[in-house]
Structure formats: structure tokens, C-alpha cells
């Protein structure tokens, strides 16, 4: 039995609360997928500070990473409630990363726009990110961990898949 398209459309609840809830669920799902990628992949972080009406400062964070090709996504938009100093900006980013279990060591490049407040924020606040990254690189133990290329990546090879790929057919 085929139903009339109008009947099907009319049977879908489209109240304001239903639509809002579905949009919120989609946003949450997309954010979870993005966070899952950032938890295990290296990425570039771009920060931009904007001023809204009423002199409210907004921090926008964008990420670029490779997932079956280059991707660029908005990570978050947060109000800066106190000031726009480098330490405040760093704390906002660090808090978001901590809340979502994203390791700071996954940041391979961190950049800010050319505005004077952001340039200062980059130099002051994100010098801490640079310190964290350099400490992580200095802890590499190439002798214990093997090949340098494997030591520089956080991606674990799928050994089972590699073994199966190289087995002759019928030898399973």
C-alpha cells in the first residue's frame, strides 16, 4: 500500500519544540563526531576573536584535519566573559579540550588572526601550547618505540588488517 505524500508529510510532528529538539540532536551528533576525530587525529587550530553588539567578545575556534581529504570545521564559539588576554583565551580552549577529552598534543599548528589583541593572545597564551607540544616531542623514545615515523603519529596500525591483507587466499 502506498500512502499519499501529503498524508505522510502531515503525520510528521512539526511543532516548534519537535523541530528544535531534532535540530539540537543533529548538532549534538555532529559535534560528537568531530570531537571523536579530534581525540585521535592531529589537527590545526585557528582562533578568531570577534566583537558583537554590546561590546561582547566572542572566541571562534576552527579546526583543520585530514579525514578522507582535508576538512575544516567550526569547533566552538564561546563568549569571553572577563577579558581577551592570552591567558583567558588559552583557558577557554584548554577548558573545552578538557571537557571533551581532546589531547592538546594533537594540535600540530595553532594560529590566530592578525588583530593586535589576538596576536598578543597568541604570543602569551599559546606559548603554553608550544611548551606542551615541545615537551611531548622531547619525550619520544625512539629506541623503545621503534621506527621514528610510528613514534611521531598517534594512529595505531591495524595489525590484524595488515596481516590478513598479506596472507595468501585460503590460508586462514
Q: What is the pLDDT of residues 65-83, one digit of tens each?
A: 888 888 888 888 888 877 7
Supply the pTM of this predicted model. 0.59
Residue 103 phi/psi, 5-degree rounding, is: -70, 135
Query: What is the residue whose three cell numbers read 579546526?
Result: 63
Alpha carbons 12 and 57: distance in angstroms, whole number:
40
Q: Which residues pair with 155 in a beta bridge?
A: none
CATH architecture, domain 41-166: 2-Layer Sandwich (3.30)
Q: Would you kindly state where each structural domain of the chain is located, as residue ranges?
A: 41-166
Which pLDDT band, with edges at 50, 70 and 90, does 102 fall under? very high
Q: State pLDDT tens for residues 34-47.
A: 899 999 999 999 98
What is the DSSP track for 133-171? HHHHHHT--HHHH--HHHHT--PPP-HHHHHHHHSPTT-
Amino acid at each position: 500500500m502506498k500512502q499519499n505524500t501529503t498524508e505522510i508529510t502531515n503525520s510528521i510532528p512539526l511543532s516548534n519544540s519537535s523541530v528544535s529538539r531534532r535540530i539540537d540532536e543533529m548538532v549534538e551528533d555532529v559535534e560528537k563526531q568531530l570531537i571523536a576525530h579530534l581525540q585521535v587525529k592531529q589537527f590545526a587550530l585557528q582562533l578568531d576573536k570577534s566583537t558583537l553588539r554590546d561590546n561582547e567578545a566572542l572566541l571562534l575556534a576552527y579546526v583543520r584535519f585530514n579525514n578522507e581529504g582535508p576538512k575544516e570545521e567550526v569547533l566552538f564559539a564561546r563568549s569571553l566573559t572577563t577579558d581577551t588576554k592570552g591567558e583567558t583565551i588559552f583557558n577557554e580552549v584548554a577548558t573545552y579540550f578538557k571537557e571533551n577529552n581532546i589531547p592538546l598534543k594533537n594540535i600540530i599548528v595553532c594560529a590566530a588572526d592578525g588583530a593586535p589583541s589576538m596576536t598578543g593572545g597568541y604570543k602569551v597564551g599559546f606559548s603554553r601550547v608550544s611548551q606542551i607540544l615541545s615537551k611531548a616531542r622531547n619525550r619520544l623514545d625512539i629506541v623503545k618505540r621503534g621506527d621514528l615515523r610510528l613514534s611521531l603519529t598517534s594512529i595505531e596500525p591495524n595489525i590484524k588488517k595488515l596481516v590478513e591483507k598479506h596472507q595468501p587466499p585460503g590460508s586462514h
